[in-house]
């Protein structure tokens, strides 16, 4: 497969601009190798598989999500334990995993298994550390200081989870009802932890509490017939002729589920008199150390917050220069950057009405963007997406606190497509010049391509490869996918679309600045909003929602651009080393098929790669 075309020249040209990656260093070891079943490698694999089974046993929702052959069928009857005791148990198990791992002599392992060792060591060290702090962290190492907020908690995730419940057999009905019955306990476990963390002085900012309370109340007050927890499963069961009694589901909704949500709202309202307006986690107990740990786990690097802040500023300056050139080429030279970009939002050719017709138009445009890029993928990819993809609206009850969009992978067996969910509370946020790059990030060649390809080979990989995703790797790939979309020519003849691409990259660069600004330099919420609007040209409403997101996910916003830069820098090093033997499609297979890993481990793998295709 030929390499993606590359323009000549120096600096930030269309194909090769570095986004600050020249400052990022790397180290080397070896690339992908097939699993073995004996010697030190086999012993380590056996340990990692046993530890994976430990985690699966503790997390039935994860277990059900990876179940293809019925091995974890019983997990579909339960929800995860969200209690403090459950969290303490996971922290203790993570410490045991780390002690077991460190008993191995890493030097006796093959290069490929040294990589698996390093991935596990990073995961366990950070998971054990973060589990010992307040708030919570998932196995993707994205910590959150507040157990329930506008972007987290059972009330936030479970409705979408329930709405996608499989309805193919009586066992599916039993699983759905069992989990629906367990839902009030999940809410109450989190409510108890809200109170427990508050006793330690951990209280979300006042504006986070206000938004969260509104969202939980909206869910609680939704009539049963309109609740996505019930509507889609009941319709699915009816379509298949399954005996799912609507009255039983409605009774659960109107009784214990709503009562548990009432208790959670009351617990959050009780915190409001004590809440402060300080946006950053620095204002919480041991907040500076909490943020340093969150930044390290999200970016997979120990870079200090001050250095990360300076890096973000440098990347912002670099992309701004390229974006200004593109705007000038369109005759847009006067006024502030934000004003010129806002003028594009208002351009009648680009504008989307702020109503249901606009929502339908955004979804139609998104599907058209997928259709446009799909035939271009072979220019840079040997492996193609293994599952279908759809684009849908974010559930209205959580739109106010949701990001602009997110991706949910399809079923491992291909029975359910991957889904891009777009926040359409205000469809005017998605004028035609901004939307394509969002679809490239969440869909093709971003998250959907990455996740569906890996899922297609996961059966041939050790199960523990599915344990952690790492934000720098997964979100870094989503942003890198935007770059590749540009490289393979999706914006040929579409300068406004390419301006949208550059603006999206600029927006992700400003995330580094405002995240470190909020949590390290002690910026206020309004300061962060104003800086991001001024320097990225984002709309005010979407920026306010984004800043609130960074307040509850410290460090995660830095992972996108940082991870993208590392993936790109590794590619350019190996391109230079291999010369004419470099094949960008083989490089992409190497990065995707090896599975998620911290950036230093990925760089070591790439720097040792001899260019031989891995699939």
- 82-93: pLDDT as tens digits: 999 999 999 999
Question: For residue 151, what pLDDT band results from cuts at 50, 70 and 90?
Answer: very high
Residue 132, classed as helix, strand or coil, is coil
The 10s digit of each residue's pLDDT in 187-202 is 999 999 999 999 999 9
Distance from C-alpha of 222 to C-alpha of 23, rounded to nearest angstrom? 51
Question: For residue 615, what pLDDT band results from cuts at 50, 70 and 90?
Answer: low
pLDDT of residue 401: 73
298-119-479 Cα angle (round to 5): 40
Alpha helix positions (H), 412-494: 435-442, 447-457, 471-487
* 66 or 165, greater pLDDT: 165
| DSSP H or E segment with residue 269 | helix 258-271
DSSP 392-409: EEPPGGGGGGS-SEEEE-
Write the secondary structure of 76-102 as one string of H (helix), E (strand) and C (coil).
HHCCCCCCHHHHHHHHHHHHHHHHHHH
pLDDT of residue 37: 57
**Tokens 């004590």 belong to residue:** 274
Residue 418, classed as helix, strand or coil, is strand
The 10s digit of each residue's pLDDT in 257-268 is 999 999 999 999
Q: Which residues pair with 420 in a beta bridge?
A: 391, 407
Q: What is the value of pTM for the model shown? A: 0.88
| DSSP H or E segment with residue 406 | strand 405-408
Would you give the end-to-end CA distance of the chain in angstroms? 13
pLDDT of residue 4: 36
Alpha helix positions (H), 149-252: 154-163, 170-199, 206-220, 231-239, 246-252
Any residues with CB less than 8 A from the CB of 167 and at least 6 apart, and which? 173, 176, 233, 236, 237, 239, 240, 242, 244
Residue 598, classed as helix, strand or coil, is coil
The 10s digit of each residue's pLDDT in 9-60 is 323 332 332 333 333 322 222 233 344 557 999 999 999 999 999 999 999 9
Count of CB atoms within 10 A of residue 328's CB? 11
Distance from C-alpha of 389 to C-alpha of 384, rounded to nearest angstrom? 13
């Amino acid at each position: 497969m030929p390499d993606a075309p590359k323009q000549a020249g120096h600096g930030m040209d269309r194909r090769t601009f570095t986004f600050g990656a020249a400052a990022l260093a790397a180290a080397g070891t070896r690339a992908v190798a097939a699993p073995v079943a004996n010697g030190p490698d086999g012993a380590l694999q056996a340990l990692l598989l046993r530890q994976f089974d430990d985690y699966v046993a503790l997390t039935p929702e994860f277990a059900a999500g990876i179940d293809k052959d019925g091995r974890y069928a019983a997990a579909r009857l339960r929800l995860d334990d969200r209690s403090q005791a459950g969290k303490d148990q996971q922290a203790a198990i993570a410490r045991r995993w780390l002690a077991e791992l460190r008993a191995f002599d890493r030097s006796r392992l093959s290069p490929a298994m040294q990589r698996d060792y390093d991935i596990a060591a990073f995961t366990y060290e950070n998971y054990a550390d973060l589990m010992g702090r307040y708030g919570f962290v998932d196995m993707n190492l994205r910590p959150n200081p507040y157990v329930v907020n506008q972007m987290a908690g059972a009330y936030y995730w479970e409705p979408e989870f329930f709405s996608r419940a499989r309805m193919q057999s009586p066992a599916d009905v039993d699983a759905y009802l069992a989990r629906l019955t367990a839902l009030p306990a999940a809410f109450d476990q989190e409510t108890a932890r809200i109170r427990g963390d508050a006793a330690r002085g951990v209280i979300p900012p006042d504006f986070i509490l206000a938004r969260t309370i509104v969202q939980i109340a909206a869910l609680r007050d939704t009539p049963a017939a309109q609740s996505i927890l019930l509507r889609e499963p009941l319709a699915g069961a009816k379509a298949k002729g399954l005996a799912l009694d609507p009255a039983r589901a409605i009774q659960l909704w109107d009784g214990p589920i709503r009562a548990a949500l009432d208790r959670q709202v009351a617990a959050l309202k009780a915190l409001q008199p004590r809440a402060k307006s300080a946006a950053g986690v620095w204002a919480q107990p041991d907040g500076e150390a909490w943020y340093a740990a969150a930044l390290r786990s999200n970016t997979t690097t120990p870079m200090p917050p001050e250095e990360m802040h300076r890096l973000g500023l440098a990347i912002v300056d670099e992309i701004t220069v390229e974006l200004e050139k593109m705007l000038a080429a369109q005759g847009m030279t006067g006024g502030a950057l934000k004003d010129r970009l806002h003028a594009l939002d208002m351009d009648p050719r680009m504008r989307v009405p702020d109503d249901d017709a606009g929502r339908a138009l955004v979804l139609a445009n998104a599907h058209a963007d997928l259709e446009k890029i799909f035939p271009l993928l072979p220019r840079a990819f040997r492996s193609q997406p293994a599952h279908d993809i759809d684009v849908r609206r974010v559930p209205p009850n959580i739109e106010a606190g949701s990001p602009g969009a997110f991706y949910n992978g399809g079923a491992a067996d291909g029975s359910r497509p991957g889904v891009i969910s777009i926040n359409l509370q205000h469809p005017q946020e998605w004028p035609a010049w901004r939307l394509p790059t969002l679809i490239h990030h969440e869909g093709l060649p971003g998250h959907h391509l990455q996740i569906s390809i890996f899922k297609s080979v996961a059966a041939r990989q050790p199960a523990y490869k599915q344990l952690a995703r790492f934000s720098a790797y997964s979100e870094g790939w989503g942003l890198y996918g935007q770059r590749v979309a540009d490289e393979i020519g999706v914006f040929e003849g579409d300068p406004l679309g390419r301006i949208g691409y550059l603006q999206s990259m600029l927006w992700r660069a400003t995330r580094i600045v405002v995240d470190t600004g909020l949590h390290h330099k002690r910026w206020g919420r309004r300061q962060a909003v104003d800086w991001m609007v001024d320097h990225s040209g984002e709309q005010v409403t979407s920026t306010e929602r984004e800043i609130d997101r960074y307040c509850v996910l410290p460090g995660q916003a830095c992972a996108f651009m940082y991870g993208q830069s590392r993936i790109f820098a590794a590619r350019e090093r190996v391109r230079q080393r291999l010369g004419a033997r470099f094949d960008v499609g083989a490089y992409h297979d190497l990065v995707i098929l090896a599975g998620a890993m911290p950036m230093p481990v990925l760089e070591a793998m790439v720097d040792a790669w001899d260019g031989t295709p891995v699939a």
